[in-house]
Amino acid sequence: MTRRHILRTFAASSIALFSIAALAQPVSASGTKRHKIVIQISDNDPAKWNLALNNAKNLQDDVGAAQVDIEIVAYGPGIGMLKIESPTGARIADAIKAGVQVTACENTMRSQKLLKDDMLPAISYVPAGVTEIMRRQGEGWAYLRP
């Protein structure tokens, strides 16, 4: 075999191995497929937030909370429901206690002059909400926008 042939074979094998790894589905300790979903909220509307929170709870009830990772990403006007005085604050707190990650966009917070002290406790933060959604989709997460 020539060196060129060996390098081509190695490159083809590497590509095949990485392709198979990328297609592999995460599996939980019980051996079942682990589901992952990112939910976008960009509306300052309690009804939309309640719908998103209902979707998250229904997913946990249907597939089992231990079998699904859920992240709700709020940006733009949707960040308003993450303020301390939010009408959906109690439901958001319950979702976080149930294992739902609720994430606020720091770009939006800066543009609206909001500080972390203005926000509900126990939420997470990312530099850019749209980038977080894009990143999660790139990792194979399902996407939902209620």
Q: In what order do the strands lie in the sheet with 124-126?
A: 124-126, 101-105, 68-74, 35-41, 142-144
Q: What is the CATH number of the domain that holds 136?
A: 3.40.1260.10
Q: Is 17 domain-assigned?
A: no
Q: Is 1 domain-assigned?
A: no
Q: 18-30, pLDDT tens digit by residue?
A: 333 344 445 555 5
* Per-residue pLDDT at 13: 42
CA pseudo-torsion sign 9, 15, 17, 20 = negative
List the domain range (segments joined by +) for residue 101.
26-144
Which range is least confidently modeled, 8-22, 33-47, 73-87? 8-22
